């Protein structure tokens, strides 16, 4: 029995699992208060990403575009950035943070977004906006390599390195959540509160689930402030929950300001949540309270109700963000399930050195395959042409047609989820996330059993 870490056999992409780097930088940007990013590229580089956010969260988010056209693609488009910054600041008087996010076209033609930021700082900002606090932050996210995962990681690091300032210790930890949902942030903050740990959460996105108020305000935004970002240099430690979505920022703070860093594991499932709480205990000296021991017990009880009778030996394919995929695979193994195929949608060479993948190699007692730079055709081909039998698919909504066409039940997890209601409110992290995941897996399987009339007798009680 073995675990193989492979690359897909084709050079081209057929139906990608991820979108591109600028999308990740935009997701990080909307987590910051008084921040509107300018994406330096064509209008579609903003429009389609905003559409994904709106589909997933059912809310509106503000992003701007330099709206590059053919003439700028040939002659250079830096004047478009200058115009965009000026118009943005005129239209939104409360904006303080303006990321300038590059794209494939502007990286290829060599537009100098660092240079234009310096020019604007010395010119426009001093001459026209001298009475305002404005921070221009160039973020390089070429779309022709990497993915939205790398773009998010780069953006978080750029925000932290721009603002972090050494001062006296604030007694807090930095909790770098990675690309998660509002429900995950709520669950994580609950764990912190129970342990009486004060934290700077990057990013505070609970407010993405924004209310409709009498004044008509319907734009969502994050609540991480400039002051929060500045204080990251003065924390007692940093915990980056996801290796590939915020790990760079934690490593930067450790190297630059000697803030101890712990990278992962993603607290998905009982065992990884235990590790997260133990890391908190070691970093802060705070004990794990009885209330969390009880929550853990409730979660284990909920899982025990389902594991052996309904989950044992169920074969699973998982795709999506790498930290999420690996965390879900570890959780499925704890549930006695068999993840056969893990699809990681980019070509990050760090996967080869990931200790979690090395651990899976040592522990898995059947044939498992992890495919780097994968697309949805890899999964479809394995199902149709390699006679891979699956009981369940776990991933975001873009893979729904593989589930439908091949009559395999599917649990929606990750980003984006647009064909199920309210999933962004539910955590996959923490003990609450373990319960939700296990029960949703069970409900998906139960529904499939009823629909196919397959072993439905198992559900009978009379």
Asked if the domains 21-158 and 173-287 are classified in one and the same CATH topology, the answer is yes
Q: Average the pLDDT over each of 13-22, 159-168, 323-332, 436-445 and give the range with the smallest value.
A: 13-22
Render pLDDT for 137-164 as a digit per residue (tens, 0 to 9): 999 999 888 899 999 999 999 999 999 9
Mean local confidence (pLDDT), 34-60:
91
Q: What is the mean pLDDT of the chain?
A: 91
Contact 236, 283 (CB under 8 A): yes
Give the model confidence (pLDDT) of 310-324 as tens digits: 899 999 999 999 999
Q: What's the gap between Cα 228 and its chain centre? A: 20
pLDDT at 454 over 80: no
Q: What is the CA radius of gyration of the chain?
A: 23
Q: What is the distance between the alpha carbons of residues 262 and 276, in angstroms, rounded to a whole number?
A: 10
Q: Domain residue spans in the chain?
A: 3-14+297-459, 21-158, 173-287
Q: How much is the average pLDDT of 85-99?
A: 96
CATH fold of 3-14+297-459: Rossmann fold (3.40.50)
Q: What is the pLDDT of residues 265-305, one digit of tens each?
A: 999 999 999 999 999 999 999 999 999 999 999 999 999 99
What integer is the mean pLDDT of 336-346? 92
Element (H, E) at 137: strand 135-139
Give the tens place of pLDDT for each residue, 217-257: 667 788 999 999 999 999 999 999 999 999 999 999 999 99
Reported as a pLDDT band with limits 50, 70 and 90, residue 10 is confident
CB atoms within 10 A of CB 237: 20
For the chain, percent of residues with pLDDT exceeding 70: 96
Can you tell me the mean pLDDT for 45-67? 91
Task: Look up the pTM and report it.
Answer: 0.94
Band of residue 47 on the pLDDT scale cut at 50, 70, 90: very high
Amino acid 71: pLDDT? 67
- Second-level CATH architecture of 173-287: 3-Layer(aba) Sandwich (3.40)
**What pLDDT is attached to residue 352?**
83
**pLDDT score recorded for residue 107:** 86
Residue 340 predicted with pLDDT over 70: yes
Return the pLDDT at 462.
47
The predicted structure's pLDDT at residue 108: 86
Is pLDDT above 60 for 461?
Answer: no
Residue 1: pLDDT band with limits 50, 70, 90: low
Q: Are 153 and 248 in contact (CB under 8 A)?
A: yes
Q: Does residue 451 or residue 131 have the better pLDDT?
A: 131
Using the structure block, give the residue that is written with the tokens 């590939």.
244
Alpha-helical regions (H) of 306-455: 322-334, 355-363, 376-385, 400-406, 430-452
Express each pLDDT in 435-452 by its tens digit.
999 999 999 999 998 888
- The CATH class given to the 21-158 domain equals alpha beta
């Amino acid at each position: 029995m073995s675990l193989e870490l492979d690359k897909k056999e084709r050079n081209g992409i057929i139906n990608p699992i991820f979108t591109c780097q600028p999308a990740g930088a935009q997701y990080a940007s909307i987590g910051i208060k008084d921040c509107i990013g300018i994406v330096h590229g064509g209008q579609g580089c903003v429009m389609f990403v905003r559409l994904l956010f709106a589909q997933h969260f059912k809310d509106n988010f503000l992003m701007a575009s330099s709206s590059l056209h053919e003439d700028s693609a040939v002659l250079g488009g830096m004047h478009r950035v200058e115009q965009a910054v000026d118009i943005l600041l005129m239209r939104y008087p409360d904006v303080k943070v303006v990321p300038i996010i590059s794209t494939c076209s502007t990286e290829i033609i060599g537009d100098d977004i660092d240079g234009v930021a310096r020019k604007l700082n010395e010119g426009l900002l001093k001459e026209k906006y001298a009475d305002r606090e404005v921070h221009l932050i160039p973020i390089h996210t070429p779309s022709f390599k990497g993915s939205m995962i790398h773009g998010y990681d780069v953006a978080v690091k750029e925000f932290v390195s721009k603002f972090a300032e050494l001062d006296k210790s604030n007694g807090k930890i930095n909790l770098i959540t990675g690309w998660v949902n509002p429900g995950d942030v709520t669950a994580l903050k609950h764990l912190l509160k129970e342990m009486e740990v004060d934290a700077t959460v990057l990013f505070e996105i609970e407010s993405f689930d924004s209310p409709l108020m009498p004044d008509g305000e319907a734009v969502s935004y994050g609540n991480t402030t400039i002051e929060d970002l500045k204080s990251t240099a003065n924390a007692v430690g940093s915990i980056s929950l996801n290796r590939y979505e915020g790990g760079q920022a934690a490593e930067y703070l450790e190297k630059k300001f000697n803030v101890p860093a712990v990278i992962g594991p993603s607290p998905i499932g009982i065992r990884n949540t235990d590790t997260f709480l133990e890391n908190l205990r070691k970093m802060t000296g705070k004990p794990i309270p009885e209330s969390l021991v009880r929550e853990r017990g409730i979660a284990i009880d909920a899982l025990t109700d389902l594991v052996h009778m309904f989950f044992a030996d169920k074969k699973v394919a998982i795709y999506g963000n790498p930290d999420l995929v690996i965390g879900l695979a570890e959780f499925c193994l704890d549930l006695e399930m068999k993840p056969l195929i893990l699809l990681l949608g980019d070509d990050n060479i760090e996967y080869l050195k990931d200790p979690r993948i090395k651990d899976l190699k040592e522990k898995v007692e059947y044939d498992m395959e992890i495919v780097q730079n994968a697309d949805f055709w890899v999964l479809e081909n394995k199902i149709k042409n390699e006679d891979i039998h699956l009981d369940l698919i776990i991933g975001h909504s873009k893979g729904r047609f593989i589930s439908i066409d091949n009559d395999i039940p599917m649990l929606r997890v990750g980003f984006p989820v647009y064909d199920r209601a309210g999933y962004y409110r539910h955590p996959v992290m923490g003990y609450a996330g373990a319960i939700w995941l296990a029960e949703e897996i069970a409900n998906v399987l139960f529904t499939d059993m009823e629909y196919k009339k397959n072993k439905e007798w198992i559900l009978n009680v009379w």
